[in-house]
């Protein structure tokens, strides 16, 4: 797993940050930004701190300004890693949030995007989301 520097300066999560909004996409709460008329979409996968991290949302906003419809699903179902929760250190938290379910969680998101008329879909991930 990651080294101690990963959690040395965790973000202060802010569910109201960013230019986008949260809606259900493929059954997941998802930060959405960009033109819904775009035929190009990017699925952004966050690091362990989740989709409410302000810098993560700023990145999503920036990608959207390039013409993409950006979706950042909450793959952690409301339980992003919290370094202040001593009962759930990274190894314990990671057991409940493995990357194995990524395919099963992403397939409905892709189907939802296609149903909106999006013809090209890419993905980018960071740390946990890069696996």
Q: Count of alpha carbons within 13 Å of 96, Cβ hemisphere only? A: 11
Exposure b/e, 22-32, CB count within 10 A at least 16 = b? beebbebbbbb
The model's pTM is: 0.92
Question: Cα(117)–Cα(104) distance, rounded to whole angstroms?
Answer: 21
Residue-range domain boundaries for the chain: 17-130
Q: What is the pLDDT along the chain (131 residues), one digit of tens a residue?
A: 456 666 778 899 999 999 999 999 999 999 999 999 999 999 999 999 999 999 999 999 999 999 999 999 999 999 999 999 999 998 999 899 888 888 899 999 999 999 999 999 999 998 866 66
Question: Cα(27)–Cα(96) distance, rounded to whole angstroms?
Answer: 19
Q: Which CATH class is domain 17-130?
A: alpha beta
């Amino acid at each position: 797993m990651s080294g101690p520097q990963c959690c040395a300066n965790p973000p202060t999560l802010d569910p109201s940050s960013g230019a986008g909004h949260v809606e259900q996409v493929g059954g997941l709460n998802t930060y959405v930004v960009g033109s819904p008329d775009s035929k190009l979409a990017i699925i952004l996968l966050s690091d362990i701190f989740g989709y409410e991290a302000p810098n993560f949302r700023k990145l999503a906003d920036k990608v959207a300004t390039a013409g993409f419809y950006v979706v950042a699903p909450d793959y952690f179902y409301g339980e992003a890693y919290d370094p202040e929760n001593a009962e759930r250190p990274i190894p314990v938290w990671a057991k409940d949030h493995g990357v194995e379910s990524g395919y099963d969680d992403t397939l409905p998101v892709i189907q939802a995007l296609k149903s909106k008329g999006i013809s090209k879909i890419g993905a980018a991930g960071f740390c946990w989301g890069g696996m």
